[in-house]
Structure 1
Amino acid sequence: MTLPATFIIDSPGDAIRAAELRRVKLLATSVLAATFATFLAARALLPLHPAFGFIAAFAEAATIGGLADWYAVVALFKRPLGLPIPHTAIIQSNQHRIADKLGEFIEKHFLEAAPVEAKLRQIDFGAFIADWLRDKKRSEDLARFALRLLPEAVAATETSGLMTFVSRRITAQLMAIDLAPLAAGTLRAFVKEGRHSGLLDDILRAVHQTMTQAETMAMIREKIRAELPTLLKLYRADKFLVNKIVASATAFFEEVRNDPAHPFRGEFDRMVLSFVDRLGTDPSYAERIQGLKRDLLARPEVAGLARHIWENTRSFFERSASGETQVLEQYLVRMFVKAGEALAGDAELRTEINQGLVAVLRTVIAEQKSGVSTFISDQVKSWDMGQLISLIEINIGRDLQYIRFNGSLIGGLAGLALYTLEYLLRLL
C-alpha cells in the first residue's frame, strides 16, 4: 500500500530541501575524501618533519570518525552499501514495533483524561459559535447548506418508511389523549375568565338578527297561521302575533345584553358550569367525545389534508433549495444571526455550552482513545517505508549529515590528542 497523497514528494519546498540534502551529502563526502587524502599525504611526508605526524593522526582519526558517522546515519534508514549487515535499516526493520509504540505513546501521553480536559477547557466553544453565527456571510452559507440538504432529507424520509412510522405514532398519541378532562379544564378556565359572557352576547345577537330577518319572520308567521282558528286568520292575527313575539324577544335580548347582573346570565352560568362538570365526570360524555375523535381521525378528508400539507411543505423546501424562493433562507439567516447575538450576550449560556461540550468530548475521547491508538498503528504499518524514509531524509537528513562533519572534527581532535599524548610520552 502506498503512502497517502500528502506524503508524496512533489512540492516546491520538498524539491528545494532535496537539492540542499544532495549538496550537504556531497560536501560531507568531500570532507571524508579530503581527510583520507590528507592522511595519505601526511604519512608519506612524515620522514621529512615530525609535524606531519600530528597532521596524519588528525586526518586518520577524522577519516575514521567520518566513516563511523556515515555508517550510523545510513544504517538508520537503509543497509550500508546494500550489505545485509545486522542492525541496519533500523526504521524499516522495526516498522511494526515503531507503529505500535507510536500509537501507544499517543494514547498514553496525548489522550489522557487530565491533559485532554485541561486543553478542552482552554477553548471557548460558546464564544466561537456565537462569533461564527453572528457573521452574516457564514450564516448565509450555513442556511444555504441546510437548504441543500432539505430535499434529500425529505426524500430519505419518504423512502425509509419514517413518514409512515411518524404518522402512526402521531395517530396513536392522539388516540391516547383523553379529551374529556382536557375539554372540561379548558371550558372551566374559559368560564373563570368571564369569556363565556361575551359568547352569550354573541349568541343573543345572532338569534336576534336571525329572528328579524324577513325569511325567518315569514316562516314563523306560517307556523302560527297554521295553528290559528279561521276567524282569527281573517283578522290577520298571525302578523300581529309575529310582530309581538319579535318585539318581546328583541326587548328581552336588549335587556340581557345591557344588564350584567340579569338573572338569565346567572342561569346561563349555572348551565355552562353544570355541562363542564358533567363533561369531566360523566363516562357517557367521555365516550361520545372519544367516538367523535375516532370518527374524525378515520375520515379520508383528514388523511387527504395531511398529504396535501406534506406535499406543499415538500414543494416549498424544494423551491427554497433551488433558490426559487428566498423566504426560508432569509428566515434561517435572521434566526442564525439572532441566535449568535443572543449567545454572545449570555455568558451563563456560553459557560453551559462549554461545560457540556467538554464533558461530551472528554467522554468520546476516553472511550475512543484505544481505537485512535490502533488506527494510528495500523496506518503506520500500512505505509510504504521507502517513501516515508525518503520524506524523513528530505526533512531532517540535512541535519543528520552534519553529524558526519561533527564526527570528522571530533574524531580528528581526539586522534590528535591521543597522538600528542603518545608523542610526549615518547619524549620522556
Structure 2
Amino acid sequence: MENSTAYVAHGDAASQDQAKIAALRRTKFAAAMALLGCVALFATAKMLEPSYPAMGLVAAFAEAATIGGLADWYAVVALFRRPLGLPIPHTAIIPANQHRIADNLGRFIEVNFLAPGPVREKLRQVDFAALVADWLADEKRAAGLSRFIGRLVPQMLAAVEQSGLREFVGRRLMDELEKVQVAPLAADLLSAFTHDRGHQKLFDELVRGVSGFLADEKALQAMREKIRAELPTLFNLFRADAYLLKKIVASAATLLDDVMADPDHPLREEFDRFVQGFIVQLKTSEDYAKRADKLKRDLLARPEMRDLVGTMWGSLRSFIEQGATGKDTAIQSHLTNMFVEIGRHLAQDPKVKADMNAGFIVALAAFVESQKSGVSSFIADQVKRWDLAQLTRLIEINIGKDLQYIRFNGMIVGGIAGVVLYVFERIFLT
C-alpha cells in the first residue's frame, strides 16, 4: 500500500514537471518568435523609411526592442549556462555557485523558517491535544494501541529482569519496610478501625463465638470434667458439678444476650476503654514500640520474606503476560476502555488541553531549536550533492517560464526607450 502510494505521488510529480517543461518551451518559442518579429520589423521599416519617413519611428522601436530582447536573452541564459557555449566570464551563474547557493539556502531556511518565533507561532496553530483526544477516542485505534502495548510487555518485563531492576526494587522495598515504625502505624490503623465503631462489630463476633462455645456439647462436657476435678468428692456424689455448670452456662448466656441486645452495655464500654487504652499505649509506649520493631525485624529476616518478593514478581509477570499477550483478554479490554475514556475526558477538559498544547509547543520548539543547524546542514549537503544538470533543470522548470517574460519586458521597454530617443533626436538634435 505504501509503495503504491509513493508510486502515485512520484507519478504526479513527474506529470507536473512535464507540464512545466512544456509551458517553458512554449514561452521560449514565443519569446524567440517575438525577437525574430522585431528583427523583421526593423528590416522592413528601414527599407520603407526613404519612402515613408514615419517608418523611422517604427524602425527605432524595432531596433531598440531587438537589442533589449537580445540583452535579456543573454541575461536569462547566463543564469543557467554559457550563452552559445562561449566561455564568457560570469555566466552559468547557478552551476558555478552551487556550493554557495546551497550554504545560503540552508542558512536562509534556518534563520527565517526555523527561528523560535515563527516555529512557536506555527505550532500554536495546531491543536495537538484535540488530535490526541480524537485518536484515543476511536475504539479501533485504542484497541490497536492496547495490542501494541501487549506485544511490548514481554520485552519490557525481560528488560526489567536483565537490568537488575527487580532486585533493586526488592532491596528498596525491604529497606523501606525496615524504616516503618510499626507501633504508630498499627495505632493509626486501629484508630481508623474504631472511628466508625468497627471494633464493636468485632466484639459482637467474639460474643457470638463465646455463645456458640457454651452451646457445644463437647465443650460443656470438658468444662464439667474440669469442675468435677476441682470439687471435693462429697459434692460430686450429689452431682454438684452438673448444677454448677448449668448455673454458670445460664448466667453467661444471659449476660451475653444482654450484651448483644444493649449497644450501651457496660461490657461494651469496658471494651471501648480497653481498645482506646491499647491505641494510646501503641502510640506512646517505648516498650510496645521496641516489641513491634523486633517482631518486624524478625519477620523480615526470615528467608521466606526474601523469597516472597521473587515469588510475587513471578506471579505478577505471569499474570501480566497472559493478560496482555492473549487475544481479547481482560487487561486489553480494560486498556482499550481506559484509552477511550482518556480521549473523551481530554476532549471535554479545556484546561488539560491547554496545558498539553503548551507542553507540545515547548517540547517541539526545543527540538526544532536543537536540530535546526542540522537541518540547515542537511539541506546544504543535499543541494551540493545534486548533479549540476539536475540542479539547473530543477530551477529552470520552476522559475524559467517567469524568467522568459523578462525577454518580453526587455523588448517592450527597449522599444519604448528607442522611440523616446528617436523623438528626442528629431526634436533637439536636428
Which TM bucket (shorter chain)?
A: 0.7 to 0.9
Measured after TM superposition, the shift of residue 201 of structure 1 is 1.0
Match of 1:338 among 308, 320, 341: 341
Q: 1:171 to 1:74 in 2, by over 3 A?
A: farther
Q: 5+ residue gaps in structure 1? A: none
Q: 1:125 to 1:53 in 2, by over 3 A?
A: same
- Asked whether the equivalents of residues 279 and 285 of structure 1 are also in contact (C-alpha less than 8 Å), the reply is no
* Structure 2 partner of 1:284: 290
Mean alpha-carbon deviation: is it higher for 55-64 or for 112-121?
112-121
Moved over 6 A (4+): 5-9
- Asked whether the equivalents of residues 187 and 280 of structure 2 are also in contact (C-alpha less than 8 Å), the reply is yes
**Distance in 2 separating the partners of 1:217 and 1:301:** 43
* Structure 2 partner of 1:268: 271
**Where in structure 2 are the equivalents of 1:19-418 lying within 5 Å?**
19-39=22-42, 50=53, 53-224=56-227, 238-281=241-284, 282=286, 283-291=289-297, 293-295=299-301, 298-319=305-326, 324-358=327-361, 360-361=362-363, 365=365, 368-369=368-369, 371-383=371-383, 384-385=385-386, 386=388, 387-418=390-421
- Asked whether the equivalents of residues 7 and 388 of structure 1 are also in contact (C-alpha less than 8 Å), the reply is no
Q: Secondary structure at the match of 1:405?
A: helix
Listed one character per residue, the Cα deviations across residues 101-120 of structure 1 (whole Å, up to 9, x for unaligned) are 44444444445555555555
Q: Secondary structure at the match of 2:407?
A: helix
- Asked whether the equivalents of residues 106 and 377 of structure 2 are also in contact (C-alpha less than 8 Å), the reply is yes
Measured after TM superposition, the shift of residue 225 of structure 1 is 5.1
**Distance in 2 separating the partners of 1:139 and 1:51:** 84
- Asked whether the equivalents of residues 9 and 391 of structure 1 are also in contact (C-alpha less than 8 Å), the reply is no
TM-score by length of 2: 0.79
**Distance in 2 separating the partners of 1:205 and 1:197:** 12
Q: 1:264 to 1:198 in 2, by over 3 A?
A: same
- Asked whether the equivalents of residues 42 and 53 of structure 1 are also in contact (C-alpha less than 8 Å), the reply is yes
Q: 1:393 to 1:255 in 2, by over 3 A?
A: same
**Distance in 1 separating the partners of 2:86 and 2:180:** 85
Q: 1:305 to 1:332 in 2, by over 3 A?
A: closer
**Distance in 2 separating the partners of 1:165 and 1:93:** 64
Q: Secondary structure at the match of 1:380?
A: helix
Q: 1:329 to 1:15 in 2, by over 3 A?
A: farther
Q: 5+ residue gaps in structure 2? A: 1-6
Q: Which amino acid aligns with 2:378?
A: D
How many residues align? The count is 416
* Structure 1 partner of 2:4: none
Mean alpha-carbon deviation: is it higher for 44-53 or for 348-357?
44-53
Measured after TM superposition, the shift of residue 20 of structure 1 is 1.9
Q: Which amino acid aligns with 1:318?
A: T
**Distance in 2 separating the partners of 1:163 and 1:365:** 37
Measured after TM superposition, the shift of residue 406 of structure 1 is 1.9
Measured after TM superposition, the shift of residue 245 of structure 1 is 3.9
- Asked whether the equivalents of residues 140 and 333 of structure 1 are also in contact (C-alpha less than 8 Å), the reply is yes
- Asked whether the equivalents of residues 95 and 381 of structure 1 are also in contact (C-alpha less than 8 Å), the reply is no
TM-score by length of 1: 0.80
- Asked whether the equivalents of residues 65 and 407 of structure 1 are also in contact (C-alpha less than 8 Å), the reply is yes
Q: Which amino acid aligns with 1:265?
A: R
Mean alpha-carbon deviation: is it higher for 308-317 or for 146-155?
146-155
Identity %: 46
